[in-house]
Amino acid sequence: MTRLIDDMRSLHRFTRPRVVQVSRRDAWVKYSESLWPSLKDPDLTVVTIDLVATFYFEKCSREFWDLGKTDHFPDLVPPRPVMWFEYHLPQRLRSEIGDQDLSREPFKNGRAGALVLRCRREEVEGQHIPAHARWIVVIDTFMDYGIQPGQIEGPHGCWALAIDEGGRIIGVPSCQSFTGNNRAAQEALQQSIALIHPPLLALSWLPREIPEDKLEIVL
C-alpha cells in the first residue's frame, strides 16, 4: 500500500470533513490551499508511526493521556520545522475500562495523517499566546477512512500548542476550527484530539537531531 502522503499528493484535493460547516467552506478551502506547499515539499520528513499507534491504542491500557505530564509525552518540540506523521487506524482499543474490537468496522483499513509545524514564538501572531512560550506547534489532521477510494478528509481544524523551553506544553491545546456555531461539530472536533496523540508521542521519542539526508523514518 502506498503512503497516505503520496496518495494525497497524487490526488491534490481534499474532501471537506463533516465538522466543517457549509458557512465556513470558503475559509476552509483557502486554509487548505495554504498547506499544499508544505505537503508537496520533496524534502518533507515523513514519519510512519504504526508501531507507536499500536502501542497507544492497542497495547497501553492507559485511559487518560495528559499532554502536560512528561512521563506521558517527554518532549513536545519537533526536531524539524515541518514534519509529516501517518499511521493505520487501530484494530482494537485497549483501556483501563475495557477493550473494544474495531476489526469489523467499516474504517478498519483507514489511515490517519498529521502535518506538524514548529514555529518560534516570535514568528507567530495572535492573542493569548503565553509570554514564556518558546515554540508554537501547529498540527493539522487528515483521514482516509478506507471506505471510498480517493476521499481523504481534512484538514479538520488547526491545533496549536504553546511549548516552553523544556519541551513541555503550556496550558491546553487550542483549535482554530471551521465548525461555526454547530455544537455537535464542536464536540466532535474536541473529541478528535486523540488523533494527534500518536504523532505527539512519536515526536517525543524521536532523537533531537536527525541527519539532514534522512527524510523517511519508521517508528
| Structure confidence by residue, pLDDT tens digits, 130-170 | 989 999 999 999 999 988 888 999 999 999 999 999 999 99
Q: Which stretch of 27-36, 54-63, 103-112 has the lowest confidence by average pLDDT?
A: 103-112
pLDDT digits (tens, 9 = 90+) for 10-41: 999 999 999 999 999 999 999 999 999 999 99
pLDDT of residue 94: 72
Q: Grid coordinates representing 40?
A: 508537496
pTM over 0.95: no
Residue burial 73-95, b: 16+ Cβ < 10 Å; e: rest: bebbbbebebbbbbbbbbeeebe
User: What cell does 73 get?
Assistant: 509525552
Q: What is the pLDDT of residue 149?
A: 87
Is pLDDT of 113 > 80?
yes
28 burial type by CB count under 10 A (0-12 exposed, 13-18 middle, 19+ buried): buried
Q: Please, which pLDDT band fits residue 99 given cuts at 50, 70 and 90?
A: confident
Contact criterion met (CB below 8 Å) for 202 and 85: yes
